[in-house]
Amino acid sequence: MDVLRAQPPLFAAHGSPMLALEGGAWGARLTALAAGLRLIRGVVVCSAHWETPEGFRITTGARPRTLHDFGGFPEELYGLQYPAPGDPALAARVQDLLAGAGEAVRPDPDRGLDHGAWVPLRYLLPEAQVPVVQLSLPRPRDPRRLWTAGQALAPLREEGILVLGSGGLVHNLGRLDWSGASNPQPWAEAFEGWLLERLTSDRPETAMDWADAPGAAESVPSTEHLDPLWLALGAGRGAAVQTVFKGWELGSLSLRCLAFG
């Protein structure tokens, strides 16, 4: 594969759902990034907010609903829609590729797009005209399972398909700093720095051994927001990792977004 010509996989932090309304510099950077990519013919997105037991699942509906899977936010947020079409043929292609890696993927014709999917896509592809399918996070899982799955999906990059992981390198809702400061907590900064050092090394897969890193326990109280990273990393197949946006919300939500290649 010519990684220089292939569609680069992305990892987008999606932070608070309020980013859908107040995207600011984060949203502007995602819009500019997508505008500079080769033609995106479809999206396979894996979000922190869809976990399924006993293996992967994938959306197969022609018109996936916009899921407002959160509570306690302004009414305006619940009125937002992201009416991108689905793509049953792309979903079938994903199933075939993952079957080659030993992963059975169950179709889900009723599942919509959760906010982990549509909030970043609202800025990456604001016209909502590019077909989108969402791949779940299986339970149980580990980084290497997701990395292997990402490697299996790498051929999609030559077909103009964007592989998108959506979560956060640091995501701890229990340690939010409500003072309004945008600076990270020291443990959050230490963990993100450790990850980036390894992701940008000549062996980025060593980042998968993150559990003993400084600040890991506080930064990753549960793995669902970090795990989409490994799928994107695998799809990159060793391509250089670049930061395309860096920032923080409330001290413990990293907004760092990465491109692989």
- Residue 4 belongs to a domain: no
- Residue 5 belongs to a domain: no
The residue range of the domain holding 196 is 10-260
- Residue 88 belongs to a domain: yes
Query: What pLDDT is attached to residue 79?
Result: 96
> Which positions ≥6 away from 261 have C-beta within 8 Å?
3, 4, 6, 8, 9, 236, 239, 240
φ/ψ of 41, rounded to 5, equals -95, -15
d(CA 16, CA 20) in angstroms, rounded, equals 8
d(CA 20, CA 37) in angstroms, rounded, equals 22
Q: Which pTM does this prediction carry?
A: 0.96
- Residue 86 belongs to a domain: yes
Banded model confidence at residue 61, pLDDT cuts 50, 70, 90: very high
- Residue 1 belongs to a domain: no
Please compute the mean of the pLDDT values over residues 38-46 and round it to a whole number.
96
Query: What pLDDT is attached to residue 131?
Result: 98
Please compute the mean of the pLDDT values over residues 244-259 and round it to a whole number.
95
Supply the CATH number for residue 135's domain.
Answer: 3.40.830.10
Query: What pLDDT is attached to residue 222?
Result: 97
pLDDT tens, 98-141?
A: 999 999 999 999 999 999 999 999 999 999 999 999 999 999 99
Banded model confidence at residue 181, pLDDT cuts 50, 70, 90: low
pLDDT averaged over the chain? 95
